[in-house]
Amino acid sequence: MNYDSIAANYDRRYAINDYSGVEEALAAFVGPEPTGRVLEVGCGTGHWLRRLAERGSRVAGVDASYNMLDYAHDQAPGAVLAHARAEHLPWAGEAFERLFCINALHHFEDKAMFFAEARRVLRPGGQLMTIGLDPHAGVDRWYIYEYFEPAFEIDKRRYPASSQIREWMHALEFSNVRTSEVQHLPAQLSARAAIEEGRLDRGMTSQLAVLTDEQYQRGIDGIRRALESAETRGETLSLGADLRLYGTYGSVPD
């Protein structure tokens, strides 16, 4: 993924999608009276850093995209920001009380190494939270998977199962390791509106951005053909989704 190329439009997702469950999970994770330092790995444009800073948290963020960090600097000017990879966090050990990543883990090249780094920079009693899809659960339905044929198989390679995440955390001696659903994302969209509003633009979701030009165009052409056929019959073509975001948590023993 080249996030430098899509940084300018990245935050559109927060305007058109409901992430209230994620925001509630993050607020509960940090706590009602934030104390200590909080690190977001894969902070992107700083959307969640800004939310936490508004609540009084002392925040830091790391991302591998310079362009994303430029936007993060504007959104969360008080945050400590670093350009680095998740597998090599540029902080000393035991520097943070909380560490989280939201919709970012699937981009990390060595996911097991990220968890080892998270364990290293968390203080005793510190906590880790990661939120993302789990396509291995077999319950999700998404028009992206339906029309863009390779997307689902690619996601199964990119996203670790929640059970695998827990295994990595147990191996590093995190305690109280658990997974729970933090957001249910059902949706029914007009295909015509989805196209006109740019919801199918490649920068809107990494599932489209990772496709080849040919794969992406084949999916778009399929939607347009289905749309034309439906409108010829006087019908509306709907694009359906039923997704779930899962949070997996663990604590560093005191």
Cα distances (angstroms) measured from residue 62 to each of 14, 16, 21, 186, 240: 20, 25, 23, 31, 34
Burial track 5-19 (b if 16+ CB lie within 10 A, e otherwise): ebbeebebeeeeeeb
3: which residues sit within 8 A by CB, 6+ positions away? Answer: 10, 44, 63, 64, 65, 67, 68
Residue 58 confidence (pLDDT) = 95
Tell me what pLDDT residue 5 has.
Answer: 62
Per-residue b/e over 70-100, b at no fewer than 16 CB within 10 Å? Answer: ebbeebbeebebeeebbbebebeeebbbbbb
192-231 burial: b if 16+ Cβ within 10 Å, else e: bebbeeebbbbbbbbbbbbbeeebbeebbeebeeebeeee
Q: Which of 205, 154, 210, 243 is nearest to 9 (CA)?
A: 205
Confidence at residue 171, expressed as pLDDT on a 0 to 100 scale: 98
pLDDT of residue 169: 98
Check residue 125 and give its pLDDT. 96
> Contact, 215 vs 148, CB < 8 A?
yes
| Alpha helices per DSSP H over 66-181 | 66-75, 111-121, 143-147, 151-158, 162-171
Interatomic CA distance for residues 137 and 163, integer angstroms: 10
Report helix, strand or coil for 118: helix
Nearest of 198, 201, 216 to residue 147 by alpha carbon: 216
Predicted local distance difference test score (pLDDT) of residue 7: 63
pLDDT for 181: 98
- What are the pLDDT tens digits along the chain (254 aa)? 666 666 666 777 787 788 999 999 999 999 987 778 999 999 999 999 999 999 999 999 999 999 999 999 999 999 999 999 999 999 999 999 999 999 999 999 999 999 999 999 999 999 999 999 999 999 999 999 999 989 999 999 999 999 999 999 999 999 999 999 999 999 999 999 999 988 899 888 889 989 999 999 999 999 999 999 999 999 999 999 999 999 999 999 99
For the beta carbon of residue 149, count every other beta carbon within 10 angstroms: 14
Select the CATH number that applies to the domain covering 3-251 from these four: 2.30.40.10, 3.40.50.150, 3.30.950.10, 3.40.50.1100. Answer: 3.40.50.150
Per the CB < 8 A criterion, the answer to whether 61 and 72 are in contact is yes
Please give the helix or strand (H or E) that residue 149 lies within, else none: none
**pLDDT given at position 14:** 80
HSE-up of residue 145 (Cα within 13 Å, Cβ side)? 15
* Per-residue confidence (pLDDT) for residue 81, from 0 to 100: 98
